[in-house]
Amino acid sequence: MYEYGLIVFTSRQHAMSFYNQSKIRSRLTVMSTPMEISHGCSLSIKFPLLYTGIVKRELYTKRYLSVQGVYHVQSDGCNNTYTLMTL
């Protein structure tokens, strides 16, 4: 089982801004938002769960209003389970 965190943004510009300004940029991956979470062409940021505290702190201090949610993702390779985390 593979687990990771996912920040879903409604604004592509804000997703890229967060990625470019993050202190843990080398640990982040920009990806299209999975259809199970959001329809459209929004971007998400994938991160290791180890960095959840840092990610939440950066989202709070920089006040990104376009965050649709932060998810804990569990993947078995074929199926993904998305659980909304609290900010």
All domains of the chain, ordered by start, with CATH? 2-85 (3.30.70)
Estimate the crossing angle of helix 12-21 against helix 52-62, to 10 degrees: 120
pTM of the model: 0.92
pLDDT above 80 for 87: no
Residues 26, 44, 46, CA angle at the centre, nearest 5°? 40
Query: What are the tens digits of pLDDT across the range 57-79?
Result: 999 998 878 899 999 999 998 99
Residue 23 has pLDDT above 80, yes or no: yes
The percent of residues above 90 in pLDDT, for the chain, comes to 79
